[in-house]
A = this chain, B = another copy of it.
Amino acid sequence: MSKPVLNVALVGYSFMGRAHSNAYRQVNHYFDLPFRVVPKVIVGRSEGPLKVAAELLGWEEYSTDMAAVLKRDDVHLIDVATPNDSHAPHSIAALKAGKHVLCEKPLGLNVKECKAMVAAADKAKTADGKPCRVGLWHNYRRAPAASTAASLIADGKLGEIRHVRAVYLQDWLLDDSCPATWRMMSKTCGSGAHGDLNAHLIDLTRFMTGLEFDSVVGLEQTFIKKRKNADGKGMLDVDVDDTLLFLAKLTNGAVASFEATRAAAGRKNHYCIEINGTKGSIVWNFERMNELEVYTVEDEPRHKGFRTVMCMDGSAHPYAGNYWPDGHVLGYEHCFINMLADFVKALASGDEFRPNFADGLANQEVLDASLASAKSGKWVTVARSQKLKPAKALKAVAGKSLL
């Protein structure tokens, strides 16, 4: 193949590193891209596990020297999949080195970090003087059902948006024997369920509705305040939330409620959003990610109701045509492949790619405001330091089969 190569370096090889690696391995096999994507080098601190990770996750090389990797001409894209506290330093270093960057969410630990990242992205140039491109791994936007929801709303099928209600419920921290990790210490994660899960709810709200946040009021709780250290030695103070709920006023007068928790018994990855407008409603629950519920007021009265749409019709639902026939369901990992495909296309076309670092900053402004509100007990106005246009709705590209 005469396609140019896009060599990738990945830093981090835990949960997110695995999910991103899968996308790099798979994307060429499902999408007709302007580049041949190559998982080139995986980067970390400890050679032993790094070598295993390279083999297992399909990377050609591994390296413990990030600086050296950044100097390589044959590395074009840096993927940051480390804990939250190193998103900013890795991303900024990569941008300074003239690399494109895909960063795991949340963008940074706080608004200040995020602003620095946006600034770095705005001025970064590749070796040949073109702007560096950045993306944020809010993968769920690229589930076919989520993209379909956004396109229905963008086309006015729901009318004016009135309500958003979204919850992200897990239960793994119910167990008080579950040890503390970086996800339970503010210095490494910023916040708890909030930054991890509410970040997704905020992103999906912004993506689906095209609306921004005006002001918020929050409530947080940490049910288990000490957990044993992961190394078994002693106890650690948990200084982040187990749960954080907040109410919001959106820019058009719509009202919204959000809740993230890791303590809802029986809820494994219950990530559910409902949006009501003057002409219709949608509901999406990630645990049934291939289905979208859609209600339209114009439907015939005798059979008006929430439709359960299987979003796998290649002619109607984005990304569906790149995989299997209708009804042959996709899973969690496909969202990453889809997003990567879009990013790679945008690299070649120069078209805008969303979510980018500016989206990450906008998201963090909501996160910081609601966290501050939870601590102060007051409504907090969301700083909207940027003027972002809504992301363009994704369209289904009628499934030209790749074979």
Residues of A within 8 A of B (CB): 1, 13-15, 18-19, 21-22, 25-26, 28-29, 49, 52-53, 55-58, 148, 151-152, 157-159, 162-163, 165, 167, 169-172, 174, 217-219, 221, 223, 243, 245-247, 249, 253-255, 257, 259, 261, 263-270, 274, 276-281, 286-292, 294-297, 299, 301-310, 312-313, 315-317, 323-334, 377-379, 396, 402-403
Known: A53-B403, A257-B257. A266 touches B306 (CB 8 A): yes
Distance (Å) between the CB of A248 and the closest chain B CB?
A: 8
Residues of B contacting A254 with CB < 8 Å?
221
Distance (Å) between the CB of A249 and the closest chain B CB?
A: 7
The 3 A-B pairs at the shortest CB distance, nearest first, are namely A269-B327, A268-B327, A266-B295
Residues of B contacting A58 with CB < 8 Å?
29
Distance (Å) between the CB of A269 and the closest chain B CB?
A: 3
Distance (Å) between the CB of A158 and the closest chain B CB?
A: 8
Q: Are A259 and B257 in contact (CB under 8 A)?
A: yes
Known: A247-B219, A295-B266, A305-B309. A289 touches B14 (CB 8 A): no
Q: Are A312 and B403 in contact (CB under 8 A)?
A: no
Expressed in whole angstroms, the Cα–Cα distance for A302 and B147 within the complex equals 11
Expressed in whole angstroms, the Cα–Cα distance for A151 and B300 within the complex equals 13
Q: Can you list 11 A-B contacts with CB-CB less than 8 angstroms, sorted by A residue number? A: A14-B403, A152-B303, A158-B265, A162-B263, A265-B276, A266-B281, A287-B327, A291-B305, A292-B305, A304-B313, A329-B332
Expressed in whole angstroms, the Cα–Cα distance for A297 and B312 within the complex equals 15
Distance (Å) between the CB of A85 and the closest chain B CB?
A: 21
Expressed in whole angstroms, the Cα–Cα distance for A331 and B53 within the complex equals 24
Residue of B nearest to A295 (CB): B266
Residues of B contacting A276 with CB < 8 Å?
169, 171, 261, 263-267
Q: Are B297 and A265 in contact (CB under 8 A)?
A: yes
Q: Are B279 and A163 in contact (CB under 8 A)?
A: no
Expressed in whole angstroms, the Cα–Cα distance for A291 and B268 within the complex equals 12
Residues of B contacting A163 with CB < 8 Å?
243, 261, 263-264
Residue of B nearest to A17 (CB): B403
Residues of B contacting A18 with CB < 8 Å?
403
Which of A270, A309, A316 has the most chain B CB atoms closer than 10 A to its own CB?
A309
Q: Are A280 and B306 in contact (CB under 8 A)?
A: no
Distance (Å) between the CB of A110 and the closest chain B CB?
A: 23
Residues of B contacting A268 with CB < 8 Å?
310, 312-313, 326-327
Distance (Å) between the CB of A11 and the closest chain B CB?
A: 15
Residues of B contacting A245 with CB < 8 Å?
247, 255, 257
Cβ 8 A contact of A172, one of B292, B307, B326: B326
Q: Are A306 and B307 in contact (CB under 8 A)?
A: yes
Expressed in whole angstroms, the Cα–Cα distance for A268 and B265 within the complex equals 27
Expressed in whole angstroms, the Cα–Cα distance for A396 and B328 within the complex equals 24
